[in-house]
Chains A and B, each alone.
Chain A
Amino acid sequence: MASDTHVPAHQETLALREQFDTAAQQKDASTFGMWIFLITEVMFFGGLFLAYTVYRHLYPDVFDVASSSLNVYIGAANTVVLLCSSLTMVLAVRASQLGQKQMIVLFLVLTLMLGFVFLGVKGYEWTVKFQEHHVPGMGFHLEGLTPDNAVTQGHAQLFFSLYFAMTGLHAFHMVIGAGLLMYLIFEARKGRYSAEYNTPVDLIGLYWHFVDIIWIFLFPLLYLIDRHLGR
């Protein structure tokens, strides 16, 4: 009645769940499951990208001006920070594949720290937006619109609604990612991951890279609209 394979007691890191027949099947299934989860995330963010596409098409000039109000250098720098964290993340996965237990922890910690830097910078950018009255709702006002009237100010609010929704949802996913990294670091320090069993590192790595890919699209779409116009 029990599962068909014996799990030797000392191989507790394998953690073979009873519904699976082999560790390979378990890893396969888990990885496949994570990929399916990631495409649900594609569709989740997809709705926001759709809204962005529609309104940028409808109000290109306003989106132009609104985009220029974002600091492109900070945005680019933050993009680099996130790319660095992707590098450290994949190096953590690599270390786990090679069973280099201390390197796993090192790279995971670096990834986490870079993630915090990103979030910190994002928080700073948001406070700037609050101070500049670029938060949709009461007191919203964007400078530099021509013509500048209630209608175009309304369109500008749409840009910033999308800005906050998209970067906010992205940041939320990063916070979750940070939580997952902290869990991984905690477990990695106990020596839980090895060449035989590194699935969680692998899977959380996939998640982290996905969140990076979302930012790879957010950056040009939000920050780089018609910068040549030099507003």
Chain B
Amino acid sequence: MSNDTHQHIDSVGTYVLVFLGLICLTVATTAVAFVDLGDYSVVAALGIACCKMLLVALFFMHVRHSTRLTRLVVLGGLLWFAILLLLTLGDVLTRGWVGVPGR
């Protein structure tokens, strides 16, 4: 029933590798910002940020060794934020699509 990490103790090397990956991604996202990708700049930036988040979560926060329940909790949190974002944007992005009679 115990959840974890004292059975899987990652090596210092693993952590340093992940850290270097994070640094590279930081450099990448900063560099990419200076390149004109049009509307895809945001996609690139968020995509890289998500990769960094995954690295921190999976390795530094030990999610890759954790129970299904922990992963469900993490996914649930992200999903709920997505609900807040998407349904609100559903309003903001569609305003003015249907005209109001008389205006």
User: Do chains A and B directly touch (beta carbons under 8 Å) in the complex?
Assistant: yes
Chain A residues in the interface with B (C-beta under 8 A): 24-25, 27-28, 31-32, 35-36, 38-39, 42-43, 46-47, 49-50, 53-54, 57-58, 72, 76, 79-80, 83-84, 86-87, 89-91, 93-94, 97-98, 195, 202, 205-206, 209-210, 212-213, 216-217, 219-221, 223-230
Residues A228 and B33 in contact in the complex (CB < 8 Å), given A35-B70, A91-B15, A195-B6 = yes
| CB of B84 within 8 Å of the partner chain | yes
27 CB contacts below 8 A, A to B, read A24-B1, A25-B1, A27-B2, A31-B3, A32-B3, A39-B73, A43-B80, A46-B81, A46-B85, A50-B84, A53-B85, A54-B92, A72-B33, A87-B60, A91-B15, A209-B57, A209-B61, A216-B52, A216-B53, A217-B46, A220-B46, A224-B29, A224-B33, A225-B41, A228-B34, A228-B35, A228-B36
Report, nearest first, the 10 A-B pairs whose CB atoms are least far apart.
A39-B77, A224-B33, A220-B45, A227-B33, A46-B81, A24-B2, A42-B77, A87-B19, A228-B36, A90-B60
Residues A217 and B84 in contact in the complex (CB < 8 Å), given A39-B76, A80-B26 = no
A32 CA to B66 CA in the complex, in Å? 10
> Using Cβ atoms and an 8 Å threshold, which residues of chain B touch A212?
56
A192 CA to B65 CA in the complex, in Å? 25
The interface residues of chain B, by DSSP majority, are classed as helix
0/1 per residue, B74-103, Cβ < 8 Å to A? 101110110011001100110000000000
> Using Cβ atoms and an 8 Å threshold, which residues of chain A touch B59?
90
> Which chain B residue has the least Cβ–Cβ distance from A89?
B60
A205 CA to B62 CA in the complex, in Å? 10
Which of A36, A91, A219, A229 makes the CB contact (< 8 A) with B73? A36
The interface residues of chain A, by DSSP majority, are classed as helix
A72 CA to B33 CA in the complex, in Å? 10
Chain B residues in the interface with A (C-beta under 8 A): 1-6, 9-10, 12, 15-16, 19, 22-23, 26-27, 29-30, 33-37, 41, 45-46, 48-49, 52-53, 56-57, 59-61, 69-70, 73-74, 76-78, 80-81, 84-85, 88-89, 92-93
> Using Cβ atoms and an 8 Å threshold, which residues of chain A touch B56?
86, 209, 212-213, 216
> Which chain A residue has the least Cβ–Cβ distance from B47?
A220
A5 CA to B35 CA in the complex, in Å? 63
A230 CA to B46 CA in the complex, in Å? 20
A94 pairs with B49, CB closer than 8 A = no
> Using Cβ atoms and an 8 Å threshold, which residues of chain A touch B9?
94, 97-98
> Which chain A residue has the least Cβ–Cβ distance from B81?
A46
> Using Cβ atoms and an 8 Å threshold, which residues of chain B touch A72?
30, 33
> Using Cβ atoms and an 8 Å threshold, which residues of chain A touch B41?
225-226, 228
B81 pairs with A221, CB closer than 8 A = no
> Which chain B residue has the least Cβ–Cβ distance from A206?
B61
B69 pairs with A46, CB closer than 8 A = no
> Using Cβ atoms and an 8 Å threshold, which residues of chain A touch B92?
54, 57-58
A217 pairs with B36, CB closer than 8 A = no
Which of A24, A43, A223 makes the CB contact (< 8 A) with B84? A43
Instruction: Output the least CB separation between B44 and chain A (Å).
Output: 9
> Using Cβ atoms and an 8 Å threshold, which residues of chain A touch B78?
42
